[in-house]
Chains A and B, each alone.
Chain A
Amino acid sequence: MDNNSLKAQGNLIMPPLKDARFRRWRTMPKDIHETIVAGVFLLPAICFFAVFVVYPIIVSIFTSFFNYSINRFEFLGFGNYINLFKDEVFLKSMKNTIVLVIGVVPFIILFSIFVALTIYQKSSLVCSFFRGVFYLPVVTGTVSVIVVWKWIFDPLSGILNWFLETLGMINQPIMWLGDKHYALWSILLVLFTTSIGQPIVLYIAALSNLDKSHIEAAEIDGATNWQVFKYIKWPCIMPTTLYVVVITIINSFQCFSLIQLLTSGGPNYHTSTVMYLVYETAFKLTQFGYANAMGVILAVVIGFFSILQFKFFSNKVEY
């Protein structure tokens, strides 16, 4: 999208508040008629939401208290939850998930601010091009991206080992995805490339909405690029940064297909995430109750970040 239309949209966001009728409407109390109308319009959304989100959550929480598999359904109380905290594999997966999240977020912030700063003032065509490039891995989907990474990391016929061997940096092939010292970092690298698109788009939008006169004034006063960034741009894009942090955290917590297609959680669960483990427990081991208990815990953790997100949304940040 070119910057002009974004600005046009920005204007739309703040409608003129002069009109008297508008004020009257604002002060009008909620009434029954409005509620009925709203109910009718909301009905389809609420139905879908209730059936496909709320109901499954309730069932999930309920069955997490049972020893539940294909042919079993016995009440356990908190048994599943107690076992979870004694389960080495679960704790390991939780640790990996947190490492992934903490590892990937700073890189994404730094990288996307760098790209956005470098290109946001270019012509809309150039801007679109770069935005598209960094969005490629998101659009084409993990499944297509994985094929190349599989080959890059392939210990015997992959380019990475060949490259390092040619440079004489290694003399034994490295099992990038099979060695516990590298596997999680390899995953992190792929996760990074597939998560970068959205933040860049957001930062470009945020930077384009900056008031140029401040920056120009500062530059005339002899401010260095770094000072301009630190004192003008950075504070202005702070809300975007907050938002990017939250969505990246939530997305990284849900990292699944990378793991499933690249390592199946190996070696020895060094790349297993809670997301992946839930799937494996449910459909490899068919321990549904246990899997649901894991899911509930994960939901609680992510729920914590959702609250952050909601707080952030309700603060009505504007550019």
Chain B
Amino acid sequence: MKNSKKKTSIGNILRMTLLYILTIGFIFPFYWVITGGFKQQEVTVQLPPQWFPIHPTIENYRKLFYNPALTWFFNSVLIALGTMILVCVVSTMAGYVLAKKKFYGRELIFAILVAAMALPKQVILVPLVRLISSWGFHNTLSAVILPAVGWPFGVFLMKQFNETLPTEILEAAKIDGSSELKTFILIVVPMVKPGIAALAIFTFIGAWNDYFMQLIMLNSKLKLTLPLGVATMQQEFATNYGVLMAGATFAAVPILIVFIAFQKYFTQGITMGAVKG
């Protein structure tokens, strides 16, 4: 409170002004995309720009939904949910033992996992496509979900979170004769719930936006995801910005809602990855 007077210095005003300018710079594209979806094609490329759709039209959305955009939406939801559930289950189990059990090879396994986290996916591009296709999974949603579960980020995150658990409780449970599985399900999982929530939302958004994997794994129109479908439309409609912006809006809004609703957990997920190792 003492320094609140000092806060109104010129430097501070300048800083806030700059911040607001930047904020407008970041919000403007989204304003533009959302309003642009309701403009006629001629209007979207008009200069000087029409800052607000004076004669709004839903023509762009009509064109958009001639594509199976709803199917794309559900594909995206399924991929994001499927990845999320698998990653959470697999990572919580692994993260728990990596954090709380002393066993042979622990350091080695952890070191390998961390090292792999930075691996560029393109390195394994061709073998991965071949592997998936040898199982007949190419162009199915599993082709995007399964490789994403192999990515060790979730394990790393859950290990971080599990380290925060008070070991006494686990020890007490052991002394009380609780089995390992029971301890895990009844004690560990409830305690790391915030961690799971963070990982879940993080994975959900990550899987939704994993354009690269979707690009190489999916091809038929009914199997595309929302971002991939919209990207395909960008190629097809080239400079028809009206339809493109309608598509971009439709691709962005669902995930934006998810983000706003769960922002708290999402932020936690990011900071947890870095806060402590």
Contact = CB atoms under 8 A, between A and B. Distances in A.
Interface of A: 1-2, 5-6, 9-10, 12-13, 15-16, 19, 21-22, 25, 28-31, 34-35, 37-39, 41-42, 44-46, 48-49, 51-57, 59-60, 63, 114-115, 118-119, 128, 130-152, 154, 156-157, 159, 162, 166, 193, 198, 201-202, 205, 216, 219-220, 225, 240, 243, 250, 253-254, 256-257, 260-261, 275, 278-279, 282-283, 288, 291-292, 295-296, 298-299, 302-303, 305-307, 309-310, 312-319
Contacts of A12: 164
A257 B259 CA distance: 21
Given A60-B123, A63-B126, 20 more contacts: A34-B101, A35-B104, A48-B149, A52-B128, A53-B124, A130-B23, A139-B252, A141-B252, A142-B209, A142-B227, A143-B228, A144-B227, A144-B248, A144-B252, A146-B234, A148-B245, A151-B45, A201-B267, A256-B212, A260-B215
A114 B122 CA distance: 34
Nearest to B179: A37
A22 B252 contact: no
A42 B270 contact: no
Nearest to A10: B275
A125 to B, nearest CB: 11
Interface residues of B, number: 112
Given A38-B103, A56-B131, A310-B111, A202 B274 contact: yes
Nearest to A298: B120
Nearest to A132: B263
A309 B274 CA distance: 11
Choose among B102, B103, B209, B260 the residue with the greatest number of A CB atoms under 10 Å from its CB: B103
Given A261-B234, A296-B123, A302-B119, A144 B147 contact: no
B96 interface: yes
Contacts of B119: 53, 57, 299, 302-303, 306
Interface of B: 2-3, 6, 11, 15-16, 18-19, 22-23, 26-27, 29-30, 32-33, 36, 44-49, 89-91, 93-94, 96-98, 101-106, 109, 111, 113-128, 130-131, 146-147, 149-152, 155, 163-168, 171-172, 180, 184, 194, 205, 208-209, 211-212, 215-216, 227-228, 230-231, 234, 239, 241, 244-245, 247-249, 251-252, 255-256, 259-260, 263-265, 267-268, 270-272, 274-277
Given A48-B90, A216-B3, A316-B277, A38 B45 contact: no
Nearest to B264: A1
Contacts of A315: 277
29 contacts: A6-B271, A9-B194, A21-B171, A37-B101, A41-B93, A41-B97, A42-B94, A45-B152, A52-B151, A63-B126, A114-B18, A118-B16, A131-B267, A132-B263, A139-B256, A139-B259, A140-B251, A141-B208, A143-B209, A144-B248, A147-B248, A148-B245, A151-B241, A154-B45, A157-B47, A159-B49, A202-B270, A279-B122, A307-B115
A278 B122 contact: yes
Contact of B211 (A44, A59, A135, A142): A142
A1 B239 CA distance: 40
Given A143-B231, A298-B122, A205 B32 contact: no
A5 B19 CA distance: 26
B175 to A, nearest CB: 8
B244 A134 contact: no
Nearest to B24: A133
A34 B121 contact: no
A290 to B, nearest CB: 11
6 closest A-B pairs by beta carbon, nearest first, are A52-B150, A56-B124, A157-B45, A45-B94, A295-B123, A313-B277
A313 B18 CA distance: 34
Contacts, number: 324
A275 B211 CA distance: 14
A256 B216 CA distance: 13
A212 to B, nearest CB: 10
A25 B164 contact: no
Contact of B125 (A132, A282, A310): A282
Given A44-B89, A44-B94, A52 B255 contact: no
A183 to B, nearest CB: 18
A148 B33 contact: yes
A60 to B, nearest CB: 5
Contacts of A133: 23, 26-27
B146 A143 contact: no
Nearest to B195: A9
A230 to B, nearest CB: 15
A25 B3 contact: no
B152 A53 contact: yes
